[in-house]
Amino acid sequence: MKAKMQVAATGLLCVLGVFWCAEIIGRGKWMNKELWEKAVAFHGHECPGLAIGFKACQAAAEKMGIGVSEDEEIVCITENDACGVDAVQAILSCTMGKGNLLYHGTGKQAFSFFDRKNNKKLRVCLKPKKHDEMDRSQWQEYLLNAPVEEIFTFSEPRLDLPEKARLFTTVICEDCGEGAPEHKMRFQEGKAVCIDCFKDYSRGW
């Protein structure tokens, strides 16, 4: 009985933590520094790039009502591999290890967020904006303090919600002897080989 009560209490605290995070984000209270400092600590330093990802998370929280992702319920597809991605990991807990942070390399400062539980989705993209008149610190302060509608455009994601992370059978490469998941293997000269050992053949088509 005591164990059940402890589990229930832990679950309640987790739920409250999610709502607390969403409440802070949604009301624009991030500049109380707590969540910003969390993102900075994760990233290693503060910079405008981190601020872009930070505000993208705020925008998603305001528009979708999301908070911390304990498992795979919140998914982010990032279109860049820049500093802002660390804010997504630190604030929303979308990570590659959990399978709810994916990369689609357009190079754009754009993030697509999905809420599996409530079937909500949103693409957040940085507006083209001339900031040549601002120095680095001014640009960062502008990003952190301006309304999200002033910073981003909002639209439907261009990509579908990916399936949940799957477990694959490990196959041993017949050349190097190292194991890799079956969907990453190739066949070459009648042998199953990994991507590193595979010699690609292409004649232009």
Domain extent listing, the chain = 2-155, 167-205
Q: What dotted CATH number matches 167-205?
A: 3.30.60
- The 8-class DSSP code of residue 30 comes to G
H or E element, residue 74: strand 74-78
pLDDT grade for 182, boundaries at 50, 70 and 90: very high
| pLDDT for res 201 | 86
Confidence at residue 156, expressed as pLDDT on a 0 to 100 scale = 97
For 2-155, CATH gives 3.30.1330.130
pLDDT 10s digits, 38-93? 999 999 999 999 999 999 999 999 999 998 988 899 999 999 999 999 999 999 99
Retrieve residue 83's tokens.
């500093």
Nearest partner of 173 among 160, 186, 159, 156, judged by Cα = 186
- Identify the sign of the CA torsion 183, 187, 191, 194: negative
pLDDT surpassing 50 at residue 8: no
